[in-house]
Chain A
Amino acid sequence: MIARLLREPLLQFLALGAMLFGLHGLVGKRSAEAPEKIVVSASRIANLGDGFARTWRRSPNEQELQGLIEDYIRDEVFYREGRAAGLDRDDVIIRRRVRQKMEFLADDMSVPEPSDEQLAAYLASNPERFRAEDQITFHQVFLSVTRRANTIESDSKQVASVLARADGAADAMALGDPFLLGEEFHGVSPSKITGIFGEDFSKQIAAMEAGRWQGPISSGFGQHFVFISERISGGSPLLDAVRPAVRREWANAQRLEAERKLYASLRERYEIVVEAPSAKAAEAASR
């Protein structure tokens, strides 16, 4: 019932009105008393100047610095008055921003430079993530389904029989249709092949042996005969070869752990009471 009342626009409006009234009273009252002090310290001014210098790569001139100070004072006045009036409370943006600051604090400060042992251990326990990809060099003879809508099956058989007699990749270079991305692919990884031809193609070519014409492999573009001339196996790399990646993933794991720890340690300080609404009350409130 109360929850529902609180959602009433009229009530919200009245509450807002009351708050503004209060704010007005506050401002009015305070101005009658001794004024509060805003001190713009020398270090603050130096700070404002630094900010300018980091943007413009030069120090501000007198007038610019005066502008920065004036703007700072203006910020401070509104900030103080706004806070005094409670405008920061229950403001979802401010709450989220403060929360983010806390999380930032945890994750940036929590990542020491890892030792080689730590990285080696991380690599050893996650070998698949850092496995270097295979590299394949191949030629293709492409038959376009667009160009050969009705004859692709019979053409494909013809090509297959020609290629069965072919002696190497070069023998077939002028066979088939042009392919926009070319007919020779040098040292490409399975993920690149997937990007160009799709996943099915990539899987099929991965299982084919080198040194002779094979296929056809079907793709969304048509049929492809392939001649693999070289395949370099990726395998498990040494730490030195993948250090940056291992370091990055290790740091990411640390970061998540630090954030979890910080939250856990802070949460411990609270006794948390969740007053879950009973089923009936929840139903009533949502009606």
Chain B
Amino acid sequence: MIRLPYISAAALAGVCAACVFATAVAAEDQTTDIGTLDKETAVKAFPAKPPYSPYAGRNFPTRPYFGDTHTHTSYSMDAGAFGARLGPKDAYRFAKGEEVIASSGQPAKLSRPLDFMVVADHSDGMGFFPQLVGGDPGLLATPQGRKWYDEINSGNGAEAAIDIITSFGKGQMPKGFPTPGTPAYRSAWRETIKAAEEANEPGRFTAFIGYEWTSNAGGNNLHRNIIWRDNGAKASLVEPYTTLTPLGSPNPRDLWKWMAMVEEKTGAEILALAHNGNLSNGRMFPIIESFNGKRIDREYAENRTRWEPLYEATQMKGDGETHPFLSPNDEFANYERWDKGNLDLTEVKKPEMLEFEYVRSALKNGLKMEAELGVNPYKFGLVGSTDTHTGLAAVEEDNFFGKTSSSEPSAGRATHPFVKTDKAVIMGWETTAAGYAAVWAAENTREAIFDAMKRRETYATTGPRMVVRFFGGWDFEAADANNRMPARVGYTKGVPMGGDLNSAPNGKSPSFLVAALKDPIGANLDRIQVIKGWVGKDGQAQERVYDVAVSGGRTIDADGRSKTSVGSTVDVTNATWTNTIGAGEMITVWKDPDFDPALRAFYYVRVIEIPTPRWTAYDAKYFGIKMPAEVRMTTTERAYTSPIWYTP
């Protein structure tokens, strides 16, 4: 019995007619106009005549790049205090797949190199030496000073360093010479830039220049990472914005002003992405601004959406997609939850804070505020990242190097408190081995990945490198799931994740091409879900979870859910599992069965893996220890895509 589908090349070309030119145009649209993929016009403007070769003109992204937008090194004051010894150079080397010696003395290596990374050290306290040797005339007038200065500047500073320290110890410094601790020497920012410039290899590995602006007023996490599209020449024209007054500010509005200044005065392009709303105690996605007590206005909304195209939805300090309190009908909502209080646990969590902390509720409130203000402040795409403070972006469950250097692999790390106050305690085992950022860029360069981030063509994973595609349009049909080139049909007939659908054609509901491929060395997939959020006629925000593809021959009921669990093959004692359940790949076309063209909505995809051992199980096995009963030993890794928005 042969069931091999034969599709002739001509038929194939027919299916993809129109797509070749349209794709090229759409790609241009994407870069100039964030999120607006005006495919319809493009098709009309360029009547289709495909070239003979089906592969010609294919310049859309063909594979996702995986990276981390959030690695701290010893340049971060808190990381250094926890014993981190690895700097930005080490962090980039590790990301590229080199073996390094971790701060705790253990060798560490990734299973596979990452494609890109942002070393994002805290701007506050980053500069040990806020100024390079400035060539102060008074100083250069002394023979010693002249000698050292020349040595340092000619790169022969090894002896100079020892000599300076010796002279310093003996009190024999020339007057005015910059010594460690006095205004001078060198700037950690310049070193950060230098490390990124050295590590950056267009086409092979992208090292972004960036930092973290760590606004933490009252212990409430409003942190943002800042990323440059540009090279060091532009980034070194400014120094990072801090949160400490008088130079800096903890208010995001001031950060945005600074970002506008940077773009205007240096010609650079930068973006910001926030993280850990779960530790902001109701302040990350506000409706009432915490800094002035007023309702968000249009200026706030415009700036937020302009400067913050992405949000880091999952990382070591817990998952930020949604919370069981907010999504009571979502059985996958209770994932790696950190909801005891704010970042330093000085204030406990109250349920009414949750709505302003999580991705899904923020996306919902964004729709409501768009109706009110004309601009959606919370129109962001999703990535995951690590927030490691070890210089090691190692978040696979069997290769988890911890949040800080003191929590690198050791027998006691799981049962040692991570934060402890009189109000609450978060244990070491609660830290999450997550996550990575996946970006659909046409090539592995700063420019291409940055542009993809700006147009939100990204998704978050909790660590596994699964491939996830998500396209929305009006004309997807079941046969598209069998197309030879799913990506091409996706870009031709619709917009990718992060994009927009506008004004529904008469009588049509949006349809979506949804696909996922498991991590080649990871676990099979349980199911693919579409999460829909919308604002009803009554002005109330709603949400609903649809199972759109499930593995193992299970069925999806009329209500759009598959209530049968995929099961589990996890052997906790031995920290193993098998891919005998689940599916390696899934693809489907899903049409919204409850669409109302008059209502604003968003759709994003969640891919769930089959259960696997959590990092705590690998620790227990490796160190031969017994974990306390409350320690979670299995996990269901997942991916979240950026939404596609529908606006009437």
Nearest-neighbor residue (CB-CB) of B186 within chain A? A108
* Residues on the B chain within 8 Å of A159, using CB: 4
Interface positions of A from 9 to 65, Cβ below 8 Å from B? 44, 47, 50-52, 54-57, 64
List, in ascending order, chain A residues with CB within 8 A of B520's CB. Answer: 194-198, 201, 219-221
Question: Does A55 contact B80, Cβ atoms closer than 8 Å?
Answer: no
A113–B154 Cα gap in the complex (Å)?
Answer: 8
Instruction: Give the residues in chain A near B164, CB-CB below 8 Å.
Output: 105
Please indicate the chain A residues that have their CB under 8 angstroms from the CB of B130 in the complex: 51
A258 at the interface (CB under 8 A from B): yes
Q: How far is the CB of A264 from chain B (nearest CB, A)?
A: 10
Known contacts A101-B128, A176-B4; is-contact A109 B81 (Cβ 8 Å): no
CA distance A23 to B191 in the complex (A): 39
Q: Which residues of A contact B5 (CB under 8 A)?
A: 174, 177
Set of chain A residues within 8 Å of B81, measured between Cβ atoms: 92-93, 96-97
Contact indicator B80/A97 (Cβ below 8 Å): yes
Q: Is the CB of B584 within 8 A of A220?
A: yes
B246 close to A (CB within 8 Å):
yes
In the complex, what residue of chain A is closest to B189 when comparing beta carbons? A54
Whether the Cβ atoms of A109 and B158 lie closer than 8 Å is yes
Give the nearest-CB partner of A184 in chain B.
Answer: B55
Q: In the complex where A57-B237, A180-B467 touch, is A64 in contact with B2 (Cβ < 8 A)?
A: no
CB of A217 closer than 8 Å to a CB of B: no
In the complex, the answer to whether B112 meets A194 with C-beta atoms within 8 Å is yes
Whether B1 and A151, one on each chain, are in contact in the complex, defined by CB atoms closer than 8 angstroms, is: yes
Q: Is B537 an interface residue (CB 8 A)?
A: no
Given contacts A56-B258, A57-B266, A97-B77, contact A104 B4 (CB under 8 A): no
Contact with A173, one of B9, B157, B185, B240 (Cβ below 8 angstroms) = B9
Chain B residues closer than 8 Å to A96, beta-carbon distance: 80-81, 83
Known A-B contacts A56-B261, A97-B128, A181-B467; A252 and B93 likewise in contact (beta carbons under 8 Å): yes
- Interface bits B478-499 vs A (CB < 8 Å: 1, else 0): 0000111111000000000000
A111 within 8 A of B: yes
Given that A56-B258, A108-B157, A222-B584 are known contacts, is A180 also in contact with B162, CB under 8 Å in the complex? Answer: no
Q: Does B521 contact A (CB under 8 A)?
A: yes
Closest to A142 in B: B585
Check A199 for interface membership: any CB of B closer than 8 A: yes
Interface flag for B594 (CB, 8 Å): no
Q: Would B154 and A146 count as touching, CB distance under 8 A?
A: no
Q: Which residues of chain A are within 8 angstroms of B237 by Cβ–Cβ distance?
A: 57
Closest to B244 in A: A71
**What is the bound-complex CA distance between A146 and B482, given in angstroms?**
13
B572 in the interface, Cβ–Cβ < 8 Å? no
Q: Is B453 an interface residue (CB 8 A)?
A: no
Contact A248–B199 (Cβ < 8 Å): yes
Contact A47 to B131, CB < 8 A, known contacts A144-B585, A182-B485: yes
> Looking at chain B, what size class is its interface with the partner chain?
35 or more
The answer for the CA separation of A112 and B467 in the assembled complex, in Å, is 44
Min distance, Cβ A190 to any Cβ of chain B, angstroms: 11
Distance (Å) between the CB of B256 and the closest chain A CB? 14
Known: A174-B7, A245-B201, A252-B93. A258 touches B587 (CB 8 A): no
- Across the interface, which residues of B come within 8 angstroms of A198, CB to CB? 520-521
Task: Flag whether B155 is at the interface (Cβ < 8 A).
Answer: yes
Give, as a whole number of angstroms, the nearest-CB distance from B337 to chain A. 30
Decide: B198 and A244 in contact? CB cutoff 8 A.
Answer: yes
Q: Mark A87-114, 1 if CB is under 8 A from B, else 0.
A: 0000011001100111011101111110
Q: Given A105-B161, A175-B6, does the pair A52, B247 have CB atoms closer than 8 Å?
A: yes
| Chain B hits for A258, CB < 8 A | 158, 161
- Answer yes or no: B25 CB below 8 A from chain A CBs: no
Contact (Cβ within 8 A) A180 B517: yes
Question: Is the C-beta of A261 less than 8 angstroms from some C-beta in chain B?
Answer: yes
Q: A71-B246, A104-B128, A248-B199 are in contact. Are A110 and B161 (CB under 8 A)?
A: yes
Known contacts: A178-B483, A220-B579, A220-B584. The answer to whether A55 contacts B521 by CB under 8 A is no
Residues of B within 8 A of A50 (CB): 131
Interface size on A, residues (CB 8 A): 75
A100→B80 contact, CB < 8 A: yes
Contacting residue for B156 out of A112, A175, A221, CB 8 A: A112
A139 to chain B, nearest CB (A): 10
Q: Which residues of B contact A47 (CB under 8 A)?
A: 131, 183
Q: Roughly how many angstroms separate A265 CA and B9 CA in the complex, as a whole number?
A: 72
Contact of B201 among A113, A195, A244 (CB under 8 A): A244
Shortest Cβ distance from residue B579 to the other chain A in the assembled complex, whole angstroms: 7
**Most chain A CB within a 10 A radius of its CB, from B160, B240, B583:** B583
Contact A64-B585, Cβ < 8 Å, known A97-B81, A110-B158, A180-B467: no
List chain B residues, Cβ under 8 A from A118: none
B112 engages A54 (CB within 8 Å): no
Q: Which residue of B lies closest to A257 (CB)?
A: B158
Asked whether A220 lies within 8 Å of B518 as measured between CB atoms, the reply is: yes
Cβ–Cβ contact A221 & B585, under 8 A:
yes
Once bound together, how far apart are the Cα atoms of A221 and B469, in whole Å? 16
Whether A146 lies near B161 (C-beta < 8 A) is: no
B515 touches A180 (CB 8 A): yes
In the complex, the answer to whether B156 meets A57 with C-beta atoms within 8 Å is no
Chain A residue nearest to B11 in the complex (CB): A174
Chain A 180-217 against B: per-residue CB contact (8 Å), 1 yes, 0 no?
A: 11111000000100111111010000000000000000
CA of A233 to CA of B152 in the docked complex: distance in angstroms?
42
Interface residues of A in 150-189 (CB under 8 A from B): 151, 154-155, 158-159, 173-184
Residues of chain A having any CB pair with chain B under 8 Å = 44, 47, 50-52, 54-57, 64, 67-68, 70-71, 92-93, 96-97, 100-102, 104-106, 108-113, 144-146, 148, 151, 154-155, 158-159, 173-184, 191, 194-199, 201, 219-222, 244-245, 247-248, 251-252, 255, 258, 261-262, 265-266
- Which B residues are within 8 Å of any A CB, using their own CB? 1-9, 12, 54-55, 62-63, 74, 77, 80-81, 83, 89, 93, 97, 112-113, 128-131, 151-152, 154-158, 160-162, 164-165, 180-181, 183, 185-186, 191, 198-199, 201, 237-242, 245-248, 258, 261-262, 265-266, 465, 467, 469, 482-487, 515-518, 520-521, 524, 551, 579, 583-587
30 contacting pairs across A/B (C-beta < 8 A): A52-B247, A55-B242, A56-B261, A100-B80, A101-B180, A102-B180, A104-B129, A105-B161, A105-B165, A108-B186, A144-B584, A155-B3, A155-B4, A173-B9, A174-B5, A174-B12, A178-B484, A180-B516, A182-B62, A184-B55, A191-B112, A194-B520, A199-B521, A219-B520, A220-B521, A220-B524, A220-B584, A221-B518, A245-B201, A255-B89
Task: Enumerate the 3 nearest inter-chain pairs by beta-carbon distance, A residue then B residue, closest first.
Answer: A109-B157, A112-B155, A198-B520
Q: A55-B242, A105-B165 are in contact. List 17 more A-B contacts (CB 8 A).
A: A51-B130, A56-B261, A68-B246, A71-B245, A105-B161, A108-B157, A109-B161, A146-B551, A146-B586, A173-B9, A174-B5, A174-B9, A174-B484, A178-B483, A181-B467, A196-B520, A248-B198
